[in-house]
Amino acid sequence: MITISSPAFPTFTAFTDENGDYLIEAGAYDTKTYTVKIEAVGYIPYITTVTINGDDEIINATLNEIPFPVSDLVATQNGNADVTVTWVEPGALSDFRYDSGISIGTGIGFLNAPNVSVLGSAHRVGATLNKMSWRVGYNSPVNVFVFGLNEDGSPNRLDLIYMEQNVPSTADQWCEYEFPIPVYAPNGFFIGVGSTNASNIGLGTDVPNDEYPFQGYTHYYSNYTSGDFARYEQNSIYSNAMIRAEGVILNTNLTFGGKRSEEFEVTSGLMQADCLNSDNYADVGMDLVEFVETNVKIDTQLLSPSGGNVTNIKT
Q: In this predicted model, what pLDDT tens digit does every residue of 286-305 receive, in sequence order?
A: 566 666 543 323 223 322 33
Domain boundary residue among 51, 67, 83? 51
Same domain, 244 and 127: yes
Same domain, 158 and 305: yes
Per-residue pLDDT for 148 more than 50? yes
- The verdict on residue 69 lying in a domain is no
Same domain, 34 and 122: no
Predicted local confidence at residue 68, as pLDDT: 79
Same domain, 121 and 30: no
Which residues lie closer than 8 Å to 190 by C-beta, 6 or more apart? 120, 121, 122, 123, 145, 146, 147, 148, 149, 155, 156, 220, 229
AA identity, residue 303 = L
- The verdict on residue 119 lying in a domain is yes
Mean local confidence (pLDDT), 87-94: 79
To the nearest whole number, what is the mean pLDDT of the chain?
77
Same domain, 170 and 33: no
- The verdict on residue 78 lying in a domain is no
- The verdict on residue 85 lying in a domain is no
Q: How far is CA 63 from CA 45, 66, 70, in A?
A: 7, 9, 21
Count of domains observed in the chain: 2
Confidence class for position 259, pLDDT limits 50, 70, 90:
confident
- The verdict on residue 145 lying in a domain is yes
Same domain, 136 and 265: yes
- The verdict on residue 28 lying in a domain is yes
Environment class of residue 99 by beta-carbon count within 10 Å: exposed (0-12), middle (13-18) or buried (19+)? buried
Same domain, 45 and 100: no
- The verdict on residue 86 lying in a domain is no
Per-residue pLDDT for 234 more than 70? yes
Predicted local confidence at residue 271, as pLDDT: 35
Same domain, 144 and 284: yes
Confidence class for position 30, pLDDT limits 50, 70, 90:
low
Q: Say what percent of the chain tops pLDDT 90.
A: 30
Per-residue pLDDT for 209 more than 80? yes
Same domain, 38 and 166: no
Same domain, 209 and 292: yes
Same domain, 43 and 180: no
In angstroms, the CA 278 to CA 276 distance is: 6
Same domain, 37 and 127: no
The residue segments making up the domain with residue 301 are 94-314
- The verdict on residue 60 lying in a domain is no
Closest CA to 34 of 10, 15, 1, 14: 10
